Structure 1
């Protein structure tokens, strides 16, 4: 106990300096994170956690460098030299992590992708939820979250889709042979519009696209509708199917 008290008396200024530095770094990190997120929300700069994380890392690295010499008696240049010697081994061991961080910066700085984008990546379609140090999180329509390493994403085929595609539903159907197409299409459009009132967007409106015709089976077509933000695409699709099923000229 006496030894501990003696040690504390000898190093009290070091402990105080360490505590103050940690406290200041903690407060600075909180303020910086809050301010940066607010600025990113107000600007056109993509708001991803990778930017906030890098700023926080820089603050703590500076704080650590400040206490090395006065508290622990370690010269920061010694660590820099040691890192230079072991840098090759570290870079080889962390090459995937480094590649992911660099790729994440490339994606964000080049405005290739940002949170909120509706994208298709190697056959997977969803909304970009976040871009972190190592990976990009894509949320699919069914709620599943796909974790893609940034280095993989940077070399994969990526397609940015129109936001309307997130709410677009397609219902195929066939019109019986001998039906007056003009009247049938007009009736289908009107009935589907009435049936989906409150569920579908009015701009763009419901559309019907003709696909093919065969004398034996009739005219193949599909109906396109766009769900409102508060409407589930499945709910809209079911409503459209019921509307089509009620028509006597639908095969």
Structure 2
């Protein structure tokens, strides 16, 4: 890891099933930063993450990692540089939690340092608050527990680039803050972290760079304060909002319309 830019996208387009999902995407993703990607459902956020992971082929433009075309990185090399948390977190067989997290060490198996692998797995379990679940069957866990175990597997992969697709979707309030805190600490250690999220208020608290994707294009990118304006949010989501400064984050609050149901009465 070094100072500067980890990944660069220029003029990136992506088609899925004959439909254009991304178009003319330009982005610089710095080392030592958390980039949060937000936008409406179906805007292309997960496809963008797949392009960054090398799992989605681009139909136009270029994607580079450390100055080299991403397509030039072969499987094992790429697996040592980037780790990906997808929205799908199912495991077919009855592996234990510890075994699932240890799968993150697979790209490093030729180094054959079992003690080091075990230490990394233990630390990943601890950091995601699932150490007490280590001997449980993964398939027996709740959705939120599975999400944290899947994040632990990503952390065990120990890569410089970490790509997280809606990592807090199934989590309660405490674990949501803890997971995003993990992302923040990874960035402070010099890594490049990209998170797809829906909650604009949480995004504003943890993002160094906030990217709004709308209809396959980058509609805005910059600091949360620059990007999250009421006018831009209404234009993107079709919903009027108010934006309030609350300490180190912005609170994005939808406005109640005349047709909205009244709040419940007390008593």
Superposition TM-score, scaled by structure 1 size: 0.22
Higher strand share: 2
- Considering Cα pairs closer than 8 Å and 6+ residues apart, tell me whether 1 or 2 has the greater RCO: 2
Higher helix share: 1
- Which structure has the bigger radius of gyration? 1
Superposition TM-score, scaled by structure 2 size: 0.21
